């Protein structure tokens, strides 16, 4: 399930491209937003497919070891615990995953060096060695191992980000969130579950599905008006010299506060402060917070922003 924070980030990125290009139509930008969101779901399936490919790689190593002219004792009698991992088996048998991967033509076949690096890093870890050496072999233990692989072996690897950037430009900022989706999926798996067990949906509900497009449209509809308002509250600043990303984040924040009366002001502000820390300068969050607080306080007082009474920031 795609989070609202990631949806906010995707709106920010397509709006940045829309305004900087100067020649994108709103319809084109809306289509770009929808495409970007759908690509996150591709990455979710791509990560689950990675787990299967790690199992395939381990099995291939065992097969090669047995075929040696003089195999070692370990190669003659390999430890099959990882290749028999119950979670990997459930993923391999899952028809929903298979159908999606085939339909979207997702594959790791050209990225076996990455598979090899991830496997070697994993094989040298203490948690993997403890798993392989343990006399127990339970479903819970198998699930815990897969969660640790997703947690420790993927997000911080430079070569993974390079690969994702080469595969799809929309994936570079999505990996951390997608890994959390994959971990949630693995934790939900049950012993002997059906081969057609559903994976996580892209959206939690219809409200989330419409959130991004409503936010995009409101930002564009209010853009010129909001630019004037921001200018009024930054008179000691040259608006043209302010970081464009800072003012764009302010634009989207104000659009959200106006468009969604059910979202508490404090939550909207906190979300965009975190986004500003990541996508702009070290001082951006303080700037965005200070200006947004003044504008929102004034617009609520003048009833230009209508909020449910319990959703007004204290």
pLDDT tens for the chain, 314 residues long, are 899 999 999 999 999 999 998 877 999 999 999 999 999 999 999 999 999 999 999 999 999 998 888 888 888 899 999 999 999 999 999 999 999 999 999 999 999 999 999 999 999 999 999 999 999 899 999 999 999 999 999 987 778 888 888 888 888 889 999 999 999 999 999 999 999 999 999 998 999 999 999 999 999 999 999 999 998 888 776 555 568 899 999 999 999 999 999 999 999 999 999 999 998 888 888 889 999 999 999 999 988 888 765 454 43
Do residues 105 and 237 share a domain? Answer: no
- Identify the sign of the CA torsion 118, 121, 125, 129: positive
Task: Decide which of 188, 221, 254 is a domain's last residue.
Answer: 188
Task: Decide which of 188, 221, 237 is a domain's last residue.
Answer: 188
Q: Please give the residue range of the domain that contains residue 294.
A: 206-311
Do residues 176 and 31 share a domain? Answer: yes
- Give the model's pLDDT for residue 3: 93
Do residues 237 and 90 share a domain? Answer: no
**Residues contacting residue 248 through CB under 8 Å, at least 6 positions apart:** 12, 15, 16, 19
For position 297, which CATH number holds?
1.10.940.10
Do residues 171 and 224 share a domain? Answer: no
Do residues 260 and 307 share a domain? Answer: yes
198, part of any domain: no
Task: Decide which of 154, 188, 222 is a domain's last residue.
Answer: 188
What is the number of domains present in the chain?
2
- Give the model's pLDDT for residue 314: 36
SS (H, E, C) the chain: CCCHHHHHHHHHHHHHHHHHHCCCCHHHHHHHHHHHHHHHHHHHHHHHHHHHHHHHHHHHHHHHHHCCCCCCHHHHCCCCCCCCCHHHHHHHHCHHHHHHHHHHCCCCCCCHHHHHHHHHHHHCCHHHHHHHHCCCCCHHHHHHHHHHHHHHCCCCCHHHHHHHHHHCCCCCCCHHHHHHHHHHHHHHCCCCCCCCCCCCCCCCCHHHHHHHHHHHHHHHHHHHHHHHHHHHCCCCCCCCCCCHHHHHHHHHHHHHHHHCCCCCHHHHHHHHHHHHHHHCCCCHHHHHHHHHHHHHHHHHHCCCCCCCHHHCCC
- Give the model's pLDDT for residue 190: 96
143, part of any domain: yes
256, part of any domain: yes
Question: How many residues make up the chain in this entry?
Answer: 314
Do residues 213 and 184 share a domain? Answer: no
Do residues 179 and 236 share a domain? Answer: no
pTM for the model stands at: 0.91
- Give the model's pLDDT for residue 23: 76
Do residues 56 and 159 share a domain? Answer: yes
- Give the model's pLDDT for residue 166: 87
- Give the model's pLDDT for residue 240: 56
Do residues 141 and 222 share a domain? Answer: no
170, part of any domain: yes
294, part of any domain: yes
Do residues 66 and 169 share a domain? Answer: yes
Q: Cα–Cα distance between 53 and 119 in angstroms, integer? A: 10
Residue 106 CA: distances (Å) to CA of 7, 39, 101, 167, 246: 23, 11, 5, 10, 36
- Give the model's pLDDT for residue 312: 47
């Amino acid at each position: 399930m795609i989070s609202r924070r990631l949806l906010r980030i995707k709106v920010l990125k397509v709006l940045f491209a829309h305004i900087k290009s100067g020649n994108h139509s709103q319809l084109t930008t809306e289509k770009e937003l929808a495409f970007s969101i759908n690509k996150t779901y591709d990455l979710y399936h791509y990560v689950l497919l990675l787990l299967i490919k790690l199992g395939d790689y381990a099995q291939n190593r065992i097969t090669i070891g047995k075929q040696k002219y003089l195999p070692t004792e370990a190669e003659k009698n390999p430890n099959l615990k990882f290749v028999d991992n119950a979670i990997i088996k459930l993923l391999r048998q899952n028809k929903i995953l298979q159908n999606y991967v085939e339909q979207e033509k997702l594959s790791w076949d050209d990225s076996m060096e990455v598979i090899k690096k991830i496997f070697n890093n994993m094989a040298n870890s203490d948690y993997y060695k403890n798993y392989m050496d343990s006399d127990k072999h339970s479903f819970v233990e198998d699930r815990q191992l897969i969660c640790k692989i997703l947690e420790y072996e993927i997000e911080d690897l430079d070569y993974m980000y390079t690969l994702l950037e080469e595969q799809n430009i929309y994936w570079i900022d999505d990996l951390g969130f997608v890994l959390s989706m994959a971990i949630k999926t693995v934790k939900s798996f049950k012993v002997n579950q059906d081969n057609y067990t559903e994976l996580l949906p892209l959206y939690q509900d219809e409200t989330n599905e419409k959130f991004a497009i409503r936010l995009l449209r409101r930002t564009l509809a209010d853009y010129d008006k909001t630019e004037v308002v921001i200018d009024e509250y930054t008179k000691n600043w040259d608006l043209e010299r302010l970081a464009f990303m800072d003012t764009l984040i302010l634009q989207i924040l104000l659009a959200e506060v106006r468009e969604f009366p059910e979202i508490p002001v404090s939550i909207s502000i906190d979300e965009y402060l975190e986004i500003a820390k990541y996508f702009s300068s070290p001082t951006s969050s303080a700037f965005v917070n200070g200006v947004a607080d003044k504008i929102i306080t004034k617009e609520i007082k003048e009833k230009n922003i209508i909020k449910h009474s319990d959703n007004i920031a204290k």
